[in-house]
Homo-oligomer: A and B are copies of this chain.
Amino acid sequence: MVIRKIVSSPATSWTKDEGPFHHIVISSRVRLARNLEKLPMPPFQSEAAGQTVMEQVKTAVEEINAQEKEGLSFNRLNELSSMDRQILMEKHLISAEQTDENPNKGLVINEEESISIMINEEDHLRIQVLLPGLQLEEAWEHAERVDNLFESRLEYAFHSEKGYLTSCPTNVGTGLRASVMVHLPALVMTNQANRVFSTLNQLGLAVRGLYGEGTEATGHLFQISNQITLGYQETEIMQNLITVTRQITESEEETRKVLLKEAPRQIADRVGRAYGILQYAAILSSQEALKYLSDIRLGIDLGLLNIKIEDFPLNELMVMTQPGNLQRRTGKVLGAIERDAARAGLFKEILEKRG
């Protein structure tokens, strides 16, 4: 089964280290919020209504699979273990809200893991496309194609003036949220990040840390996304984010050059210590791992570390060091301290293998 293969590996579509500007733009994501006509939205949903949504989507998926080549797999999330659901979350394929035991929460996903559709999350359908590097247009095209496949088989809640109706008012309109995950160590180190982020806010873009709202930025990773969907065309929203992402990428690149020129020893020291600690620590928290992975990523980009990405897959390692994936790897349930030890063991093994 597709889903068993997916939860057994930390690798996923966006963890491939490729795509335009992948040294700074880790991934691109497009998400469309859609709801079915005449059925209450999930926050106000009865169990029966939830079942109806699941059945309608299941039928649509079967039709699509019979007629198209999307290769979609329909899954009831409560049939998976809680560890499997956590792994899906750590791979960014479902949200934290989708990890509970609710019997009517579902996930439609393709084998490449580039499309993942959450069913009965905040909206009836949340169609997500995740790709590595700066590939917002490609992600948008794929999301739109999948959206059309469903729209021709399901009756969407749509208002002729407002557009797509959604559970949360901020999504009404296009229902589109587009985002990029960017690695901005140089802008943070030189205290320019906050200024950049406040400019982004003025442009209607939101900036969050790696694991969604409220979390502090970990490992110099930030998600930049559009805040408003109503009153804009999808293409406007996408172009705005693409332009801004290119500017930030340039700015980060320039700042890295300055850092390397002005403070080469400090950078080498930071990168070297991260490497030494990852190789030799015996206890490593998740936060620390992300911090040092960020330093290593910077070191590789600046040519300070002779590491091949095949031997040290940075993006996959970010997923591998999360609790669910760590427990899958060690084959047992681990307490917080054992996880910190297992995480340290993982890096020791990988780095010692390098020689």
Contacts and interface: CB of A to CB of B under 8 A. Distances in A.
Contacts of A278: 276
A106 to B, nearest CB: 41
Nearest to A284: B269
Contacts of A282: 265-266, 268-269, 272
A344 interface: yes
A307 interface: no
A227 interface: no
Contact of A344 (B269, B275, B337): B269
Contact of A273 (B265, B266, B280): B280
Interface of A: 265-266, 268-269, 272-273, 275-283, 337, 341, 344
A34 B268 CA distance: 52
In order of increasing CB-CB distance, the 3 nearest A-B pairs are: A276-B276, A276-B280, A272-B280
A262 to B, nearest CB: 13
Nearest to A340: B265
A68 B277 CA distance: 55
A33 to B, nearest CB: 45
Contacts of A277: 273, 276-277
Contact of A275 (B269, B275, B276): B276
